[in-house]
Structure 1
């Protein structure tokens, strides 16, 4: 039996800073050393965001660290990576982005059963300060309840 290490990295800062309206799962166009770094878990999504360029969706500031055993073929850690979605989903996202205050942010990166890297993205609206306080209060209440049980 072969042991398969699963990679599942989430963007915890995004859930605190934004309210998610819709979520999608997108494929990514990667090079060989990038997928190897993802499998090692060397990914940072802290400042990443998505944008459209000529009706194609790209992710920017997704930091995939250089592969340790990579040679001169190693990738650029902060390069823009193309995301793969259905045409219908892309058109829907383009129409939704015309609303004020909405953005697309990556929430999670993982390797699926087929061995492909997937990026979960969310159409999100920024939270106000009082919304963030409310999130902290809910987290504290749920933590207290779990302690009592």
Structure 2
């Protein structure tokens, strides 16, 4: 990922993050994938009505799938509205899927979505990460570092 791609992501009007994932896991490797969506799903995502809480990715028959992502039904949708928590296909190259499948077979590793955003062409994309679970003491350490950063920011704002 180069600097231009990172800058474009920051400018994206929609950024739906999985905040819990960074607390629960160490990110080993990240990938960007497209999502196969229906018409009302993309409208809901553009309105910011989606959530990545408790979602995960799995590989079935050489294809990557996203389970547990909640996209709220579109308010103006009619009979053609979508299911909120259906399984959605992710678009990655075969090489990337094979690499992720091999790495995820190791004990303690999983694949988790971290961010949903709209790219410069108007398509919904998802950042997924190969993750290793944190132990309880790692989580406490993360909380302590976060609290220290907050205190330092508060001290700098006073002066």
Instruction: Indicate the TM-score class for this superposition, using the shorter chain for normalisation.
Output: over 0.9
Q: 2:26 aligns with which of 19, 24, 32?
A: 19
**What residue ranges of structure 1 are gaps of 5+ in the alignment?**
none
**1:39 positional shift:** 0.3
- 2:29 pairs with 1:29: no
Structural mapping, 1:66-77, within 5 Å = 66-77=73-84
SS state at 1:79 partner: coil
Structural mapping, 1:45-124, within 5 Å = 45-124=52-131
| TM-score (normalizing by structure 2) | 0.89
Paired positions, count: 146
SS state at 2:66 partner: strand
Going from structure 1 to structure 2, the CA distance change for 1:96 and 1:73 (only over 3 Å counts) comes to same
Runs of 4+ in 1 over 4 A off after TM superposition: none
Bigger helix fraction? 2
| TM-score (normalizing by structure 1) | 0.95
**1:105 positional shift:** 0.5
Going from structure 1 to structure 2, the CA distance change for 1:5 and 1:26 (only over 3 Å counts) comes to closer
**What residue ranges of structure 2 are gaps of 5+ in the alignment?**
1-10
Q: What does residue 143 of structure 1 align with?
A: 150
